[in-house]
Amino acid sequence: MSTSKTRTKGHAAHRGANAARRSSAAKSKAPHGKGPNRAARRRGETQPWWRRSGIVLGLIVVAIAVGVGVQALRSSKGSGTIHRPAFAAANGAVTEGDTNAKVTVTEYGDFQCPNCARLQQTIGPTVQKLVNDGTIRFSYVPMAFLGSESELASNAAYCSGQSSFWKLHDYLFANQAPENSGALTTSTLTSFGSAAGVTDPSYASCVKDQTYLAFVKHVTDLASQAGVNQTPTLLIDGKPAPASAYTAAGLTAAVRAASSG
Amino acid sequence: MSSTEASRESAHQRARPAARRGAQLWASTCARLVLGAVWLWAALAKILDPEQSVIAVRAYRLLPEALVKPVAWGLPFLELAIAVLLLLGIRTRLAAWLSLGLLAVFVGSVASAWARGLSISCGCFGGGGVAAGIDWTSYATEIARDVGLMALSAWLAWRPRSRLAVEEGRR
């Protein structure tokens, strides 16, 4: 009790002193440009800044903790069960070509990424030739980091089935629209399937139900964990390809070097 | 506004030309609202797409894997808190210092990615931080933008008082 009384008294005294100081400060100098402590006293704030802002700082920490918790919960719930299409590898790669081919070329791409569409134009025919003559196996990993339309496109590619995956892959790159412009929806992707020649009877329902959505997210996450943070990324036998390999002639040369080396 | 506060206001106005003080108050108001809007946008984009944030944070290759998710999930809420404080005008000086510090961390991270020759997009406003063919000029642009925002934050830390604030007349 006594302590609280003295505190009140002290506070009142302090306030009186403050008032005096305030008026003298106003007369003598401009009130700004001095240390915060003095400015705080002038405002009648006797506590240091960290005590006045402590509650706010504490609330921020609580908000961050709650936020992390909510996002962790969302990620554990939202992902759902991961269904992997039988023709895709565990890391999401879909592969074509002779299993006896000496060299494997892997591309990480996103169906919405403009440079991936450009690369497809540049090296697509060469890749096809090298696959057809048994020189390489070609793997494509559909990352989906450019938003929900990329996820829908990757899902559709997995829905198209082993026989049609490459048809839809080529079609999506040849008919690419600007990122997240609304061009890729479950309904447009269904009609893209017919246009590209996808024959799987369950394609439409698979696109609509987004059957492989959780797998698509998982694949993207795995690629990021593997250190792929740029698309397109080309690997030759699992090692990053040189910059020169992003051209038709350069890719042929890099593949030749890998098969002889 | 209490009578003591009113007298404090007038004391200030005596000490400095009223027009200049008014201009400063409005300049601080603009800085506060612009900065708050930028933080709000950055925070919401990341909160709505936590998976992309994780990929973006990982792409910088600065944190051990165990810290990637907590940072990717928690950071946007710090940004949100700064946005709310700035937009409402509560503890403006504290929010300005937090804003300045966080921007300094961002500039450092982008500069380090640049120096290490990583090709990533910043993920500043959501997005996976994975580059779809990035060039060096985008790093320079990102850093220039952040430095501009740091200048706004520094101004607010120096002159936190503004109009249209919950704690109007306070810092």
- Alpha-carbon distance of A223 to A244, in angstroms, equals 22
Q: Are B149 and B124 in contact (CB under 8 A)?
A: no
Q: What is the CATH number of the domain that holds A195?
A: 3.40.30.10
What are the backbone angles phi and psi of residue B131, rounded to the nearest 5°?
-85, 135
Q: Is residue A152 included in any domain, yes or no?
A: yes
Taking the C-alpha atoms of residue A188 and residue B100, their distance in angstroms, rounded to an integer, is: 45
With CA atoms as reference, the chain A residue closest to B71 would be: A68
Distance of residue A200 Cα from the nearest chain B Cα, in angstroms:
30
CA nearest neighbour of B35 among B78, B99, B128: B99
**How much is the pLDDT for A110?**
93
* Portion of chain A with pLDDT greater than 90, in percent: 65
Helix (H, G, I), strand (E, B) or coil at A105: strand
Looking at CA atoms only, how far is residue B127 from chain A in angstroms?
Answer: 6
State the Cα–Cα distance between residues B66 and B125, nearest whole angstrom.
23
Q: Which domain holds residue B153?
A: 3-158
Q: Of the given ranges (A40-44, A67-71, A92-96, B32-36), which has the lowest mean pLDDT?
A: A40-44
Alpha-carbon gap, residue A220 to A228, rounded angstroms: 9
Average pLDDT of span B70-95: 96
CA distance A83 to A77: 15
Same domain, A138 and A233: yes
pLDDT at B169: 64
Domain boundary among A78, A113, A135: A78
Q: Does residue A83 fall inside a structural domain?
A: no
The pLDDT value given to residue A79: 61
Average pLDDT over residues A251-259: 95
Q: Is the Cβ–Cβ distance between A112 and A160 less than 8 Å? A: no
How many domains is chain A built from?
2
pLDDT in tens, A159-212: 999 989 999 999 999 999 998 899 999 999 999 999 999 999 999 999 999 999
CB contact under 8 A, A224 and B74: no
- Reading the block at residue A122, the tokens are 């540049």
Confidence at residue A173, expressed as pLDDT on a 0 to 100 scale: 97
- Asked, for residue A239, whether it belongs to a domain, the answer is yes
Mean pLDDT of B34-49: 95
- Measured distance CA(B71)–CA(B59) in Å, rounded: 13
Percent of chain A with pLDDT strictly greater than 70? 80
Taking all residues of chain A, what is their mean pLDDT, rounded to a whole number? 85
**Is the residue at B79 inside a domain?**
yes
Provide the mean pLDDT of chain B.
85
Backbone φ and ψ of B125, nearest 5°: -115, 55
Mark whether A19 and A145 lie in a shared domain.
Answer: no
φ/ψ of A236, rounded to 5, equals -115, 115
Q: Are residues A139 and A63 part of one domain? A: no
Pairing of strands A103-109, A136-142: parallel
Task: Tell whether the model's pLDDT for residue B56 goes beyond 60.
Answer: yes
Separation in Å, CA of B147 to nearest CA in chain A: 24
Indicate yes or no: pTM above 0.80.
no
Q: Does A23 touch chain B (CB under 8 A)?
A: yes
Q: Quick one: pLDDT at residue A251?
A: 96
Return the pLDDT at A15: 44
Tell me chain B's radius of gyration from C-alpha atoms.
Answer: 19
Asked if residue B163 belongs to a domain, the reply is: no
The answer on A229 and A175 residing in a single domain is yes
Same domain, A134 and A245: yes
DSSP B126: B
Is A59 in contact with B133 (Cβ distance < 8 A)? no
Q: Is A68 within 8 Å of B73 when comparing Cβ atoms?
A: yes
* Residue at which a domain ends, from A30, A51, A78: A78
Q: Is the pLDDT of residue B11 over 60?
A: no
Counting the structural domains of chain B, the total is 1
Are residues A229 and B90, on separate chains, in Cβ contact within 8 Å?
no
pLDDT at A26 (0 to 100): 42
Tell me the average pLDDT across A100-119. 93
Nearest chain B Cα distance for residue A98, angstroms: 30
Taking only the tens place, the pLDDT of each residue in A237-253 is 999 999 889 999 999 99
Q: Are residues A68 and A124 in the same domain?
A: no
In a domain, B166, yes or no: no
Residues 6+ apart with CB under 8 A from A9: none
- Same domain for A102 and A73: no
Contacts of A228 in chain B (CB under 8 A): 130
B143 domain residue, yes or no: yes
Note whether A138 and A218 are same-domain residues. yes
- Give the A window 145-184 contacts with B, CB below 8 Å: 145-147
The domain in which residue A231 lies consists of 94-260
Q: Mean per-residue pLDDT for A139-148?
A: 92
- A220 and A129, same structural domain? yes
Does residue A84 belong to any structural domain of this protein? Answer: no
- Residue type (1 letter), B89: G
Find the angle CA(B97)-CA(B103)-CA(B104) to the nearest 5 degrees: 90
Q: To probe the interface with B, which of A52, A62, A71, A218 has the most B CB atoms within 10 Å?
A: A71
pLDDT score of B150 = 98
Would B167 be classed as within a structural domain? no
Angle between helices B50-59 and A54-78 (to 10 degrees): 100
CA-derived radius of gyration, chain A:
31
What's the rounded Cα separation, in Å, for the pair B68 and B72?
6
**What pLDDT is recorded for position A260?**
87
Closest chain A residue to the Cα of B48, Cα to Cα:
A71
Distance separating alpha carbons of residues B161 and B93, to the nearest angstrom? 8
Q: For B149-170, what is the mean pLDDT?
A: 90
Judge if A73 and A145 occupy the same domain. no
pLDDT of residue A51: 73
Residue A131 shares a structural domain with residue A54? no
- B4 → closest Cβ in A44, A56, A147: A44
Predicted local confidence at residue A146, as pLDDT? 84
Mean pLDDT calculated for residue range B37-59: 91
Question: Considering the domain boundaries, does residue A89 fall inside one?
Answer: no
Residue with tokens 């000029």: B137
Please check whether residue B97 is in contact with residue A114, taking contact to mean a CB–CB distance below 8 angstroms: no
The pLDDT confidence band at residue A4, using thresholds 50, 70 and 90, is very low
Give all strands of the β-sheet with A233-236 in edge-to-edge order: A94-96, A136-142, A103-109, A233-236, A239-240
Minimal Cα–Cα distance from B133 to chain A, Å?
A: 6
Does residue B168 have a pLDDT over 80? Answer: no
Chosen domain end from A30, A46, A78: A78
**Out of B63-72, B99-108, B131-140, which region has the weakest mean confidence (pLDDT)?**
B131-140
CB contacts of B8 in chain A (<8 Å) are: 22, 42-43
Contact A229 B118 (CB under 8 A): yes
Kindly report the nearest CA distance between residue A63 and chain B, in angstroms: 7
Under the banding of pLDDT at 50, 70 and 90, the label for residue A30 is very low
Regarding whether A72 and A125 lie in a shared domain, the answer is no
A2 sits in which H/E element: helix A2-28
Tell me the C-alpha distance between A2 and B33, whole Å. 47
Mutate to test the interface with A, among B39, B55, B57, B75 (most CBs of A within 10 A): B55
Residue B33 falls inside a structural domain: yes
